[in-house]
């Protein structure tokens, strides 16, 4: 998957989660996000 489509998948993840999830402490949600997108974060940081 190219970088741009991966970036769009981050946006979709956040939108699908909904606003309540954005500001709620949820270790499982955070772990899911890291598992899906940490590599993308590192790629973008290069």
Could you say which of 1.20.1540.10, 1.20.58.320, 3.40.50.620, 3.40.50.11540 is the CATH number of the domain covering 3-45?
A: 1.20.58.320
The pLDDT value recorded for residue 39 is: 92
Q: How far, rounded to the nearest angstrom, does the alpha carbon of residue 1 sit from its chain's CA centroid?
A: 15
Distance separating alpha carbons of residues 39 and 31, to the nearest angstrom: 13
The pLDDT value recorded for residue 3 is: 64
Would you kindly state where each structural domain of the chain is located, as residue ranges? 3-45
26 phi, psi to nearest 5 deg: -150, 100
Going by pLDDT thresholds of 50, 70 and 90, the confidence category of residue 1 is low
User: pLDDT tens digits for 5-40?
Assistant: 888 999 999 999 999 999 999 999 999 999 999 998
The pLDDT value recorded for residue 33 is: 95
Going by pLDDT thresholds of 50, 70 and 90, the confidence category of residue 46 is confident
* Rg (the chain; Cα; Å): 11
Residues whose CB falls within 8 Å of the CB of residue 33, separated by 6 or more in sequence, listed in order: 13
């Amino acid at each position: 998957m190219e970088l741009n489509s991966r970036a769009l998948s981050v946006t979709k993840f956040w939108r699908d989660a909904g606003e309540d999830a954005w500001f709620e402490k949820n270790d499982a949600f955070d772990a899911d996000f890291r598992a899906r997108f940490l590599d993308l974060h590192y790629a973008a940081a290069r």
